[in-house]
Structure 1
């Protein structure tokens, strides 16, 4: 699918820049990254991969086992998303009442227009089920117009759009996380078919580039509405080739999609070059193309980058960087993160098993793991402590804070690589704060951690213990620094309702509960409080402690 595009590099090289010309996040991009979800780390599972992965079979048990093994392999490479090829040649990787089964998945495919029983199992249903069980997303990848390598549906006709919409609606009946289109629009070798009258438009009769874009846009906008009308929360995106001029000439209106709403949710330009491109290996092609795509993104559409795993470790005369280094993909991930892109996708799936790709993929996986795991804990009524694990090979960490999980996060501290904790002081007592942390290395930044929250309030009393006496129980606890006092609670049952029986000052760390019933067991909890502007801010309850009265 993508190899043809990777060599189309004769048009429009965007100037030479240094790899060191990394730009920091723009403010808007940073806000989106902070409020958004996890980094997308995806792979395209193409129809050409099914056979080599053992997924071409008529046995459900075999398909399920091989699909599960592939997903495990993807997950071991830190991937969390799969673009599963469900429509390659006007066919279906699902039990469809309209489209024939994919010959790349089963030998029972029919050449008839309608083939209801061409699968003994439902591949798409199984893939969705397996991916979700492993905590991964599964998006349905379609070639919208392609019928064969020679002939495509003619984008100029409404019947072509309706045909595509039918496929999309059928797939949306599954619990897919999105619909994904490849970049094949006006790419037929011989011509374009009108399904209404079998009329064929020859390639030599192609319309102008602007007319191509207009025709494709009608379909893209219609599919976007179809996906959104499902109410499932699924997203719609397209992966155009990396050469912007080639996109424009082939009907992919990337300028419109990246400046207007109602077309796509995300875009994945296929930037399949290294920064040692050209016969002399001196052109920073990857950075040039990455920068051009980012400059084109006027409406803040989520952007991920397609990376060429199929090229790593192979000698190319026009792009020697693939053979010279074993950190191409890792370096490319570092760069796309520094430009504020939300992730990447690898082409293709079978490269996860290729011995010549092992070192590069290992280096990429290490780079992908540079996401802190954080925790928060209250230090006192106006201080929260944030902690995270140490990540090797970084310059330091940036700590961000918000007043709600999906609110606006602002940087509150930057620390060096030797620090893995931060005490956020001077907070408003009783208020809950949310934190994220990300590592950085020079001007490059890595993805944010998940959010962790804590309330600014006193620590709960610790070391609570009880001792029994004659008709009395003494409750003791460890003092909490800076509090105004403590409240003691009691229950006759371990998991019963605890009622407050005493409030004491901050100088006290014990309470004697007298006049109790002999032989009866009582349970106690303690919590601290701090008076702030006339109001009490409470800690959490301590652990319980119980004794039987003598």
Structure 2
């Protein structure tokens, strides 16, 4: 079901045996060996019970052998994330006129629900339309935050920093989600701020239907997006950078039903005059390719451990699709060559939006999932997006079972993650979906799968020190620079119990579990920023 990260542990040797046994037993053992052997046996120093970086042997251990340390299971791994949309106030904030206190309360409620559901990542939309939900010198405050573009929250606070702090305090990753080129939505109501790109560089912003769009063929537009993303990675401790499926806009139709072409003539003519040889559609794809490659480079140049993820439309190139699969071509209409990005390794995870039911033949969920797994030749993560918000009160509503079955379908193919769109459906627990996911699919916490290509450095191994009453263990780390989380296994008489806590939580309770009884062993490992597990440390109780 999950992919696992193993760590090595030393075998129990004669040396460790001699270090831990009591003196009377050691003497008897040595005498017996001397009588049986023709050559003298080298004397070994006898030590008192010791604390090592791997195992603490309690003082009251049996005199003839150390307390047995059982091998804890491999770590459960699965990316369990949810999109939090700020555009049009879909998820947060619920309205444009909320006070700072109410905005913070909604953030806390979302994060607490995520923890209760045993999710491990939030994908937060920080740039809905060339604007920002954080203080920026590049783009104005979003009107979806305060009701007026350019107006900061009052009383003032930094919403993105608050999201990050609160998410990390709960052991959740926070990925910052950017719309690459959208400049204004149909839901926009206020006057455009003076520092919006449509005012600063109007020549690169095009009106297309009821939208305004930065032309991907304009170098200024691409540089704007790169500057914004670089600024956030540099200033904030985000765990991921995420872009969605809006490259060139989805096509609109004129009154006679014909498709309206995107108005990029100036950029196209400039390209031709500079000696460009590509056909127009190939040129558009190359514009998007250059953006994706540049974001990947910029993110990892700023902070090599930060993941870069893309969430494209769920159907790939028409000339590569499996038999029976039909539908909208993002390759031809959005100019997104997703297969190329995977092949070149220009991302750390792909979250294709598989927003169709399992039994919808032309866009069959399982077939499309298999397709994207097959395209992943560089071994990055494939974490599909699920249309959880399709559970609603309409006549075409999905059942909760559809999402539950899709989770099962991915796990059956060794899928190790997914993202729910969006938080509102989980917050509202539509048709019991949050309760059922928690009870049936997310029965224990899970760690996000590791990304060793970003950084494979082992985090520091924990040192464990038991309290005098053996009811808790204090944990110390030689360094916390590369450590974000602690993975904890507790063994009772009946089973192993798993949990994840932030690396700031240095006291671990050993009280009896109310359901499974006394804790017999504690095993702890540090988890790095890229999900790498360090050497495990264990403490055994008699």
TM-score exceeds 0.5: yes
Match of 2:290 among 212, 218, 223: 218
Aligned residue for 1:517?
none
1:268 to partner: Cα distance: 0.3
Kept in 1, the 8 Å contact 2:93–2:103? The answer is no
Q: Does 1:123 align with 2:123?
A: no
1:148 to partner: Cα distance: 2.5
Kept in 1, the 8 Å contact 2:100–2:154? The answer is no
Query: Aligned equivalents of 1:304 and 1:176: distance in 2?
Result: 19
The superposition leaves residues 434-493 of structure 1 with CA deviations (integer Å, 9 ceiling, x where unpaired) of 99xxxxxxxxxxxx9x8994789xx99x6xxxxxxxxxxxxxxxxxxxxxxxxxxxxxxx
Aligned residue for 1:235?
307
Kept in 2, the 8 Å contact 1:89–1:143? The answer is yes
Q: Does 1:368 align with 2:451?
A: no
Aligned residue for 1:275?
358
List aligned pairs for 1:229-378, cutoff 5 A: 229-231=301-303, 233-245=305-317, 246-249=329-332, 250-261=334-345, 263-277=346-360, 285-312=364-391, 323=398, 325-354=399-428, 357-371=430-444
Q: 1:234 to 1:174 in 2, by over 3 A?
A: same
Q: Does 1:167 align with 2:205?
A: no
Query: Aligned equivalents of 2:160 and 2:96: distance in 1?
Result: 13
Q: 1:86 to 1:99 in 2, by over 3 A?
A: same
Query: Aligned equivalents of 1:277 and 1:235: distance in 2?
Result: 32
List aligned pairs for 1:200-215, cutoff 5 A: 208-215=280-287
Q: 1:82 to 1:455 in 2, by over 3 A?
A: closer
Query: Aligned equivalents of 1:299 and 1:135: distance in 2?
Result: 29
Aligned residue for 2:514?
none
Q: 1:38 to 1:187 in 2, by over 3 A?
A: same
Aligned residue for 1:442?
none
1:287 to partner: Cα distance: 0.8
Normalising to structure 1: TM-score of the pair? 0.56
Query: Aligned equivalents of 1:232 and 1:52: distance in 2?
Result: 29
The superposition leaves residues 187-229 of structure 1 with CA deviations (integer Å, 9 ceiling, x where unpaired) of 15574569999x9xxxxxx974433221111111111111111
The superposition leaves residues 342-377 of structure 1 with CA deviations (integer Å, 9 ceiling, x where unpaired) of 21111112112335x23233222234324489xxxx
Query: Aligned equivalents of 1:254 and 1:389: distance in 2?
Result: 49
Q: Does 1:56 align with 2:96?
A: yes
1:277 to partner: Cα distance: 2.2
List aligned pairs for 1:146-545, cutoff 5 A: 146-149=182-185, 150=208, 151-172=212-233, 173-187=235-249, 189=252, 191=262, 208-231=280-303, 233-245=305-317, 246-249=329-332, 250-261=334-345, 263-277=346-360, 285-312=364-391, 323=398, 325-354=399-428, 357-371=430-444, 453=536
Aligned residue for 2:114?
74
SS of residue paired to 1:327: helix
SS of residue paired to 2:344: coil
Q: 1:260 to 1:122 in 2, by over 3 A?
A: same
Query: Aligned equivalents of 2:242 and 2:445: distance in 1?
Result: 30
SS of residue paired to 2:106: helix
Larger radius of gyration: 1
Kept in 1, the 8 Å contact 2:117–2:442? The answer is no
Point out where structure 2 has 5 or more consecutive residues left out of the alignment: 8-72, 186-207, 253-259, 271-277, 318-328, 447-488, 497-522, 526-530
Kept in 1, the 8 Å contact 2:97–2:146? The answer is yes
Query: Aligned equivalents of 1:175 and 1:350: distance in 2?
Result: 25
Query: Aligned equivalents of 1:348 and 1:167: distance in 2?
Result: 24
Greater relative CO, 1 or 2 (CA 8 Å, sep 6+): 2
The superposition leaves residues 405-459 of structure 1 with CA deviations (integer Å, 9 ceiling, x where unpaired) of xxxxxxxxxxxxxxxxxxxxxxxxxxxx999xxxxxxxxxxxx9x8994789xx9
How many residue pairs match? The answer is 358
1:284 to partner: Cα distance: 7.8
Give 1 or 2: higher helix fraction: 2
Query: Aligned equivalents of 1:165 and 1:183: distance in 2?
Result: 17
Aligned residue for 2:192?
none
Query: Aligned equivalents of 2:213 and 2:75: distance in 1?
Result: 37
Query: Aligned equivalents of 1:327 and 1:179: distance in 2?
Result: 31
CA RMSD of aligned residues (A): 4.5
Query: Aligned equivalents of 2:228 and 2:117: distance in 1?
Result: 31
Query: Aligned equivalents of 1:143 and 1:107: distance in 2?
Result: 20
Normalising to structure 2: TM-score of the pair? 0.56
- Deviating runs (4+, > 6 A) in structure 1? 29-37, 115-119, 193-197, 388-391
Query: Aligned equivalents of 1:40 and 1:73: distance in 2?
Result: 16
Query: Aligned equivalents of 1:297 and 1:316: distance in 2?
Result: 37
Kept in 2, the 8 Å contact 1:93–1:123? The answer is yes
Aligned residue for 2:79?
40
Give 1 or 2: higher strand fraction: 1
Point out where structure 1 has 5 or more consecutive residues left out of the alignment: 1-23, 200-205, 374-384, 392-396, 398-432, 436-447, 463-550
1:48 to partner: Cα distance: 2.9
List aligned pairs for 1:102-117, cutoff 5 A: 102-110=142-150
The superposition leaves residues 152-192 of structure 1 with CA deviations (integer Å, 9 ceiling, x where unpaired) of 21212221221001111221111111110001011155745
1:240 to partner: Cα distance: 0.6
Query: Aligned equivalents of 2:350 and 2:127: distance in 1?
Result: 19
SS of residue paired to 1:84: strand
Match of 1:98 among 138, 146, 149: 138
